[in-house]
Amino acid sequence: MREPHPDKLNELVGKLVNDLGASLAGASILLGDRLGLYKAMADGETTTSAALAKKTGLHERYVREWLSGQAASGYIDYHPEKETFSLSPEQAMAFAEEGSPAFFAGAFDVVQATYLDEPKVTEAFRTGKGVGWHEHSKCLFSGTERFFRPGYNANLVSNWIPALDGLEAKLKAGAKVADVGCGHGASTIVMAKAYPKSEFFGFDYHLPSIERARKLAAEDGVGDRITFAQANAKDFPAKGYDLVAFFDCLHDMGDPVGAGKHVKETMAKDGVWMIVEPFAHDNLKDNLNPVGRVYYAASTFICTPASLSQEVTLGLGAQAGERRLRRVAAEAGFTRFRRATETPFNMIFEARA
């Protein structure tokens, strides 16, 4: 047995203690989200465990333990002089305000799915087979929508679309848009609300997601301007789209080149293929950071197994990087490809024939 270096071992154990606490705290975030505890504290007023339990209709002893753990994580503030708790404005944005650009509670539904579905992924490691998107636990689908929606709310209309040459004017005047791999329709709904003269089509192979998207669009008052239908990225209907958008899904596809070829066939002559992908550098060494850590972990459990469950099995992964994505677009027949803009979590590409 090799002798460990004591300082390096202590450093690693300290990191593991921190990560263990974060892993357990994730389940506590799910509790607070689902039980309405964060929303009950969103006004910023100080509260005791008894008062919060009464307000939410929950058992005080459980609420007290939850509050203590949240305070230890730094997710809520504790005031020892009066033994009370509160949410700061920043904490409220992250945990209580669903429409906030910093809302993060929904992301932990995705985390839960990785634990629930670990046996399936473990078996896939042994067999080399994939795990299809539809084979995952239901919380993955809602969690994905709630994780990405804040970014779409904050950036899609204000930054991403204006960064694509001439597209914003077309959408304002009235364009035809396909949102492929739309999931619960968060991105489609954001665009439909912003551009009432345009017509939108949302496609996803997962029928329960399409049914959920229809319901959410109706609730947001844009159900009459969005047509949601079950279809995959290689057979969705061709209608001369001015914009075909792929939001955080191209890397999940077994045959992204084949999907790109179909996109090219469905577009209007001067149409745009908008590809939104997780932020990544081209080389692994440059992705060894907190954002890369999140995306590599998610990709191990969700994205790569999804691709390996389909035809071709290219397996781009969630950290594909611009170079590999550019190659996909070129092989699909697109002659112009550029990174239009970016955020710490996403890269936005514009591809044209």
The residue among 331, 192, 337, 176 whose CA lies nearest residue 269 is 176
CA atoms of 169 and 161, how far apart (whole Å): 10
At residue 165, the pLDDT reads: 97
Cα 36 to the center of its chain, rounded Å? 22
At residue 1, the pLDDT reads: 82
Crossing angle for the helix pair 49-56 and 60-73, to the nearest 10 degrees: 120
Residue 327 near residue 282 (C-beta atoms within 8 A): no
List C-alpha distances in Å: 59 to 25, 48, 78. Answer: 20, 13, 20
Domains with residue ranges and CATH for the chain: 6-95 (1.10.10.10), 156-352 (3.40.50.150)
**SS3 of 27, please?**
helix
CA atoms of 307 and 128, how far apart (whole Å): 12
**pLDDT tens track of the chain, all 353 residues?**
899 999 999 999 999 999 999 999 999 999 999 999 999 999 999 999 999 999 999 999 999 999 999 999 999 999 999 999 999 999 999 999 998 989 999 999 999 999 999 999 999 999 999 999 999 999 999 999 999 999 999 999 999 999 999 999 999 999 999 999 999 999 999 999 999 999 999 999 999 999 999 999 999 999 999 999 999 999 999 999 999 999 999 999 999 999 999 999 999 999 999 999 999 999 999 999 999 999 999 999 999 999 999 999 999 999 999 999 999 999 999 999 999 999 999 999 999 99
**What predicted TM-score, i.e. pTM, was given to this entire model?**
0.95
